[in-house]
Structure 1
């Protein structure tokens, strides 16, 4: 019953996501689109505006019925005696425009042309403005016969491409007429001429719209910058690669969405500006795909194949941009269809993998819903080709922003949990180090007391010998018999504790496990040595040895009583490194951990893997390595620590 409810919620959520996404993109198309504004548009190259028109819509986007003269760059002088005797047609400003309308050229997007529009305004005593978007790839703007703006150099003999967004303010002539003449050349880009409609209206209205549009961009970029700082903090604390990848993803989104600000502030060349923008776009999709695979737990083979296809698309796009001038129109159209198919295929992959993951756990339902949102964006982008947003970005920018926020929330939750666990582990290590320091101090004091006792015993023997000599001299048989009964006058052996490496704390730890192994009937072989200038402190070395020996003893104790139990600890001192191997028998059973490494099998599951993790931390702190090599019957751990100096041979080990 619960499983059935899970599927019902899943399918209802999918249906609701598709419905809301479709309403969202349809709403953007209807209410945030330069082509769907209910404003008066030019007809046959002429726009007549009344006072009512200007009061109701103080700004409008001019996209309909521009007069277009293909294959020629005209100036106001060519119109002094009326319209020139050249071929002219009326065109709408959209992305599918061509410079050459004859259809006989394989590169009709390249060439030149002139756009003309006349506007009749109701008030001749106020100024008006024209907000010019990017025009591909160089143009000159004339208003009422006067040069108003020049971007790049459209002259075919001295062609230089450039793009930028500029606002031009002017007054109509005495008859209330505004004549806009734009001479355009394109020899650089896949889009040709005027593909985005300029905005016409009062300066106040255009500046207001322009300010909101750029302000929203700034806010979006600022949010991505905050996300980069948060990811950088988590990466610095946890060294988790997904935090760095998420920061890189936000950086790519900034590179993708910052172009309206750049075009407003600077005049930029077509190449490499639009190549970098497009590369950031498809790089964002590639990195989103990789992180999506990580969150969904996709198998390594499938993940490599899908990411390899995405990377190949990015590489192919780079070649596409570098060879722009040699690619015919049919090739450009084919690449456009391939990219559209790639986006649809990518959305289908995201939806399918997210669906399979969401069927297993309700935690991934949100990722499925956002994947459906992405798929709807790609679909509606094909259904609504005539879309140019007034505010915000294109469909794909919207959905990628939402998808990044969703992945960020999921990854940040995971990183926060990892950070909390890491802090807990650090606190436990800190407490252990404090206890070990106290034990070291106690051991030092104990050794001092032992040395005092040894000296006392040693000196006392001399006193006994002296008494024995005096008794012989005086002939006191009773005292002699008593002293002789003491043998070598040993009131105590005076033997010091075992010495393994000359470090009291480490010797005490090894001596403890040597005695413990004897009590537990474990055959322990110790061959331990360290160089004189060993980089580890007593605390670090005891942490490393204590955790590994504890794990080895516990593994032996879990074996059947009749099974042989052995532990081997041996070291090697080389000129550039110190190597240690701890090898123990075990029952051959390993419990895999969720991410990496191995769980221990302690009764208290809260401390699973902490000992091995702590040992790894100590090794990595000194730029060393700790390798775990389990086999069927032996569990082997190897530790390699760089020393940089020649090792010296320590005192010989006592026989084991």
Structure 2
């Protein structure tokens, strides 16, 4: 390993350590400062929260997640508390995703069932209004505040059960004693999350609306950014027809479907299914498409790419089956699926890091992709380390890192597309200039051909005059004139090769004649069977550009062969009712050099012109809605072209 490579690897390892450190600091910072569970606010104890004026001034809003009184397997109403707390089994629970409706654990389906949550809040006696921000509750609930119905999402009644989900903000006044009693009766018969899994927000209406506005505004900005990306991708796809551009647009669309849920849940009441199924499917669809584009950028081998993408697609299918059977999956099945999906994310992050590392070792320009892959791996790791995380602003760890990874891939892809677009524009300008020159050469060829025809007629007619003079000289016996005429006749017969007619178009015939002469000089066996239909959509300029590029590549390939090798070029065309076909094949030395990201083959010494000839030919063929196929074998390099004939 030379000094430059050692320096490159040193930069790679230092960047790796710095990326892991920054990613860890970032996610630890999110957990510490952007987490509903880590706010330094007064929390309920044993179902009671006492707030002073100082508490409300210092923290006008807080998230209530600690020590809710919970009555499992029963839907209670304020009437059940008229004579004090009912004589039923009660426990205190924290609101988190691992909660279960049936705490006994004996039914085998502990995520299903019903229960009632109770919390009492003592606020300062000042008569002001307060608000309660209700997040999504699974799967239907009735909210009572101070004994009065305040909000109903779905229908928790077992006889008329109907699930629904939505985020709502409820405002109210405490009673005359400054007491607020919050009672939430929840029933879940359709989802594998149960009851209250996210903490409600409590505080003044101004504070809650402020936080809510910032949260939704940031989400709108993110979605708007993805929409702009979709429009840009659509523009580039229309201009270049590059497949990865369309895939990136689809990736941004999936990301919108994954991250739009806070807006949808705020604006609408939606059924649990298929809302959460589509949201989760967009999540794992995003991971699948990210994996595919990652494989494309890194140039992963086809077999490894198919296997990795096949596993990702299988996960998407399995998640769908999981959602369709959510109501009948036992608790142990839910736990197993949760561990499987967590393991899949860790395995996916390891795959991305490993493949990006291999790619970064080859080229320094791919270091950024490797660092973002490390960022993804850290997100999956810290997601397992910090399970009690519910963001106040922004998204979850995986949403953050997927957004960054999409921006990274988009930057790399758009840079490549911009370079390709610029090269394409330059190529079009070069073709335009070549067309002008070719038009002038075509006019000159017409004039030259007319002069040649005039000369040929003159020589032909002059021979008749010479024969006549020769006969007259014989009759008069003038030997001097006879000798002179015989010497003129020797030179007047001519010996040059006359230009042939291949297709009847002078410019095209001139080009084919040039390569016919060149092949003869270079001792290349050239066979030309060229015809075109009338009318044909290609102009003389386009045909000369197409044939010139392909024949030039073929001659160069033959000249690179050993002197003793057989050098052969075959050009054949066929006119069918609907299509015009052309096949050009040539012998070559069997060595190919792939051009990165285009799949074209070139052996030119000047890298500036790598792949331009075949790229120009493909551009012309696609312009006329045709196809160009390259089929190299061990001894022959074959290019096949098919163009529809417009009638």
Equivalence for 1:641? 643
* Alignment partners' CA distance in 2, 1:449 and 1:113: 103
* Alignment partners' CA distance in 2, 1:152 and 1:170: 21
How far residue 294 of structure 1 moved from its aligned partner, in angstroms, is 2.3
1:111-142 CA-partner distances (Å, limit 9, x unpaired):
11111112121144211111111111111111
Does the alignment pair 1:360 with 2:362?
A: yes
Total equivalences in the alignment: 642
Residue 136 (structure 2) aligned to one of 118, 134, 137: 134
Aligned CA-pair RMSD: 3.3
Equivalence for 1:107? 109
Equivalence for 1:652? none
Equivalence for 1:474? none
Of 13-22 and 160-169, deviating more is 13-22
Residue 411 (structure 2) aligned to one of 403, 409, 428: 409
Rate the CA distance shift 1:45–1:468 in 2: closer, same or farther, 3 A: same
* Alignment partners' CA distance in 1, 2:164 and 2:341: 26
Rate the CA distance shift 1:559–1:405 in 2: closer, same or farther, 3 A: closer
Rate the CA distance shift 1:374–1:630 in 2: closer, same or farther, 3 A: closer
Equivalence for 2:210? 208
How far residue 527 of structure 1 moved from its aligned partner, in angstroms, is 2.2
1:565-613 CA-partner distances (Å, limit 9, x unpaired):
4433332222232222333344444433334545343443321222222
Residue 271 (structure 2) aligned to one of 269, 272, 290: 269
1:236-266 CA-partner distances (Å, limit 9, x unpaired):
3332222222222221111111100110111
1:566-585 aligned at under 5 Å gives the runs: 566-585=568-587
Residue 193 (structure 2) aligned to one of 191, 194, 205: 191
Equivalence for 2:596? 594
Equivalence for 1:182? 184
* Alignment partners' CA distance in 1, 2:405 and 2:558: 50
How far residue 323 of structure 1 moved from its aligned partner, in angstroms, is 0.4
Equivalence for 1:379? 381
Q: Under a length normalisation based on structure 2, what TM-score does the superposition of the two structures give?
A: 0.91
Equivalence for 2:42? 40
Equivalence for 1:616? 618
Residue 145 (structure 1) aligned to one of 140, 144, 147: 147
1:420-473 CA-partner distances (Å, limit 9, x unpaired):
3323322222222222222222223334555666778899999999999999xx
1:373-430 CA-partner distances (Å, limit 9, x unpaired):
2222222212211111111111111122222222222222222222233233222222
Of 127-136 and 418-427, deviating more is 418-427
How far residue 633 of structure 1 moved from its aligned partner, in angstroms, is 4.3
Equivalence for 1:396? 398
Does the alignment pair 1:341 with 2:338?
A: no
1:615-652 CA-partner distances (Å, limit 9, x unpaired):
2222232233333344444443333323266xxxxxxx
* Alignment partners' CA distance in 1, 2:638 and 2:298: 34
* Alignment partners' CA distance in 2, 1:545 and 1:374: 49
Q: Report SS of the residue matched to 2:149.
A: strand
Rate the CA distance shift 1:279–1:632 in 2: closer, same or farther, 3 A: closer
Equivalence for 1:93? 95
Equivalence for 2:236? 234
1:519-549 CA-partner distances (Å, limit 9, x unpaired):
4444433222222222322122111222222
Structure 1 alignment gaps of length 5 or more: 472-477, 646-656
1:316-368 CA-partner distances (Å, limit 9, x unpaired):
00000000111011111111111111111222222222233333333333222
Equivalence for 1:653? none
1:224-303 aligned at under 5 Å gives the runs: 224-303=226-305
Contact 1:32 1:391 in 2 (8 A): yes
* Alignment partners' CA distance in 2, 1:38 and 1:139: 29
Rate the CA distance shift 1:198–1:428 in 2: closer, same or farther, 3 A: same
* Alignment partners' CA distance in 2, 1:203 and 1:235: 47
